[in-house]
Amino acid sequence: MAEKDRVGRYGEDLVAARLGAAGWTVLDRNWRCAAGELDLVARDGDRLVAVEVKTRRSQRFGTPAEAVTPAKVARLRRLLARWLVEHEEHAAEVRVDVVAVVLHPGAEPVVEHLVGVA
């Protein structure tokens, strides 16, 4: 596995654990279809949330959240709609969140959860 993939997997594992500790239920991880991938699909009470996790080892090229462009958000919404068609889940609200993770050597990860980007 490439270093970039290990960093991404670490960030997703970290976020999934934090969401679980906060009472969320992770329903799916790395769900794929021909149109793309959803990192996490989770339930937060009666809300269904697609969670895009962006993990970086530095902010040299901007914050991880800045990598989630309007086009990416639109694609995530389409993917979540497709996920809903293929699964027996119903929710009062559906949204897309972004969780940005920055890893600094020798320090705790910095995690920023942006709720409802779409």
- DSSP characters for 38-102? EEEEEEETTEEEEEEEEEES--TT--GGGGS-HHHHHHHHHHHHHHHHHS----SEEEEEEEEEE
Where does 3-114 sit in CATH, by number?
3.40.1350.10
Q: List pLDDT tens digits, range 70-86.
A: 999 999 999 999 999 99
- How confident is the model at residue 1, as a pLDDT? 65
Query: Residue ranges per domain, the chain?
Result: 3-114
List pLDDT tens digits, range 34-68. Answer: 999 999 999 999 999 999 999 999 888 888 999 99
The whole-model pTM stands at 0.94
